[in-house]
Structure 1
Amino acid sequence: MNQIDLSGRVIVVTGGARGIGYAVAQRALESSARVALWDVDAARLAQSAGELAALGQVSTHVVELTDEASVNAATQATLDAHGHIDGLVNNAGITGGNGPLWELPPDTWRRVIDVNLIGPYLTCRAIVPHMIARGYGRIVNVASVAAKEGNPNASHYSASKAGLIGLTKSLGKELATKNILVNAVTPAAAKTEIFDTMTQQHIDYMLQRIPMARFLQPSEAAAMILWLCSEDCAFSTASVFDLSGGRATY
């Protein structure tokens, strides 16, 4: 495994209790970072932190990412625990189930947009001023290949992740002269617990679209995400990095 130098860095990982977020936290700790796990699931958060504690310093914060006060409180708690924040990985996301647009309830559609797009806006809004004050930061937004292509029966999810790419490009340009780099990754499906919210038909559709004929491993996503969180990433910002096994070629 290649070494990524995150010595002295503090990385916030949203949705860090499971899936790709957990893999990011694990690789960050193995790379000598300290990690703040943000998640809405308090029980799973405690379990994951217990598993990760042997690798390094981990703090846990129960956060409702769609609530500004909750995000602000978690930001302050993270600063109190670690002193500063160097990296933010906006990983938390939901699928909202599957169905044609006209059959998806408006409340479901809005909830997906709130978690997948408003959440990253609120976390960036809370954390970026602290990064500006320190003159350093790395932000990675976990979008999706669905943002590029639009998955049928997932209009809410596809739209939310396309919006996250737009946010990435705008914020990256706004911060380009401040040594704060903002990038996105666009994974194809990774076989995590999020599959429990999808139909088998949708899972099969996603797999048949991947030329490598397999799903993404969370550890593979973590490797790219944490390189983007490192100082080695120095001249890439407002950009999108693919993790789709050949599905998307742009």
Structure 2
Amino acid sequence: MQRLSGRSALVIGAGIGIGRAVALAFGREGARVAIADCGEAQHRTEAVAAVIASGAEAFSVQCDVTVEADVAEAVRQTIDRHGRIDILVNNAGIGQPPGDFLALDWTDWQRLIDVNLRGVAFGMRHALPPMLKQRYGRIINTASQLAHKPAAGAAVYSATKAAVVGLSVAVAQEVAAHGVAVNCVCPGPTNTATWRASDADWRRWKTQQLPIRRVAEPDEIAPAYVYLASDEASFMIGQSLSPNGGDVSW
């Protein structure tokens, strides 16, 4: 049986990369999927078509997570189209501009906070009320292995992702007794647009640092989200799953 059969999912940041892989994996597991993203409309259209090709229902919505009204509208449309919202994935995020901590100005800092942290908070703020009312929900926030292993040259990015973990754990404790589970996925280096845009020498160095000696493909990260979205993860509360090729081990 499909693990997400009958469930309604909203994946924010689903046009490309890990988010797209998650949306497709949810569709294969039987979920109806709302694909939200602020990127090119073509990416959303292609992701929707791929989910539908797997036999699942899907639609897209434009969503800039720095605009709370956009996030609220994505939640509203999911409920209007699917009758409820069972699963929320907060996956939208941006990387840190090149340079160390002293090279960043406060505009860079604020942009990272607005997308990587406030965007997650907006998603939870608007999805939680209907989930609490129905006494069922799964919220999965994308953090990073850098939340647990901060790196030079990624100070502010690491801080935002560590904050996502902290926020998720705190909210998880508030809502767990009401049927809503909040957890994180903390991916390691993955073959996404952000990875490919980074410095080539650094990519080669980082790959050699990984015990597995390669970066992940998005399809290798998506199963962690499927598990946390499923009823199999009913006892997972405030946890971080970190598919990272051995970059962080504990």
TM over 0.5: yes
- Report the Cα offset of residue 230 of structure 1: 0.4
Whole-angstrom distance in 1 between the partners of 2:51 and 2:169: 33
Instruction: Provide the rounded CA distance (Å) in 2 between the counterparts of 1:205 and 1:139.
Output: 34
Segment drifting more, 121-130 vs 66-75 = 66-75
1:162 deviates by: 0.5
**Residues 198 and 54 from structure 1, CA distance in 2 versus in 1: closer, same or farther, beyond 3 angstroms?**
same
Aligned counterpart, 1:186: 186
Instruction: State the match for 1:174 in structure 2.
Output: 174
| Paired residue type of 1:13 | V
User: What residue ranges of structure 1 are gaps of 5+ in the alignment?
Assistant: none
- Corresponding residue of 2:108: 108
Is contact 2:28-2:51 (8 Å) kept? no
The CA deviation at 1:96 is 2.8
- Partners of 1:190 and 1:4 lie apart in 2 by 26
Q: Secondary structure at the match of 1:187?
A: coil
Measured in 2, the distance between the counterparts of 1:224 and 1:113 equals: 25
CA distance in 2 between counterparts of 1:58 and 1:39 reads 14
Q: Output aligned runs, 1:21-170, within 5 Å.
A: 21-41=19-39, 42-55=41-54, 56-170=56-170
**2: CA distance between counterparts of 1:153 and 1:205?**
14
CA distance in 2, matches of 1:144, 1:138: 19
More deviation in 46-55 or 104-113?
Answer: 46-55
**Quick one: structure 1 residues 97 and 199, their matched pair in 2 at CA, closer, same or farther if it must change by over 3 Å?**
farther
For the 8 Å contact 2:132–2:180, the answer to whether it is kept is: yes
Counterpart Cα distance in 2 of 1:99 and 1:205: 17
Would you say 1:210 and 2:210 are equivalent positions? Answer: yes
Give the secondary-structure state (helix, strand or coil) at the position aligned to 2:212: coil
Cα distance in 2 between the residues matched to 1:206 and 1:146: 13
Give the drift of 1:73: 1.4
Looking at structure 2, the residues matched to 145 and 25 of structure 1 have their Cα atoms a distance apart, in angstroms, of 21
Letter in 2 for 1:111: R
Worse-superposed segment, 194-203 or 50-59: 194-203
Distance 1:217 1:4 in 2: 23
Moved more, 203-212 or 188-197: 203-212
User: Structure 1: which amino acid aligns with 2:69?
Assistant: A
Q: Report the 3-state secondary structure (helix = DSSP H, G, I; strand = E; otherwise coil) of the residue aligned with 1:228.
A: helix
AA aligned to 1:177 is A
**Which piece of structure 1 moves more, 30-39 or 101-110?**
101-110
Paired AA for residue 176 in structure 1: A
Partner AA of 2:78 in structure 1: T
Which residue in 2 is equivalent to 1:13? 11
SS at the partner of 2:219? helix
Equivalent residues of 1:4, 1:226 under 8 A apart: no
Superposition deviation, residue 199 in structure 1: 2.0
Q: How far 1:205 moved relative to its partner?
A: 3.9
TM-score normalised over the length of structure 2: 0.95
Aligned residues: percent identity? 34
Aligned residues of 1:95 and 1:198 also touching (Cα < 8 A)? no
C-alpha distance after superposition, 1:158-215 (max 9, x if no partner): 1110000001110110111011111111111111112244222432343233111111
One-letter identity of the residue aligned with 2:13 = G
- Aligned pairs, how many? 248
Q: Matched residue of 1:125: which SS? A: helix
Task: Measure how far apart 1:4 and its partner are.
Answer: 5.1
The letter of the residue matching 1:10 is S
RMSD: 1.4
Q: TM-score, normalised by structure 1?
A: 0.95
C-alpha separation in 2, matches of 1:93 and 1:201: 23
CA distance in structure 2 between the partners assigned to 1:4 and 1:166 by the alignment? 32
CA distance in 1, matches of 2:232, 2:2: 9
Change in 2 beyond 3 A, CA 1:199/1:19: same
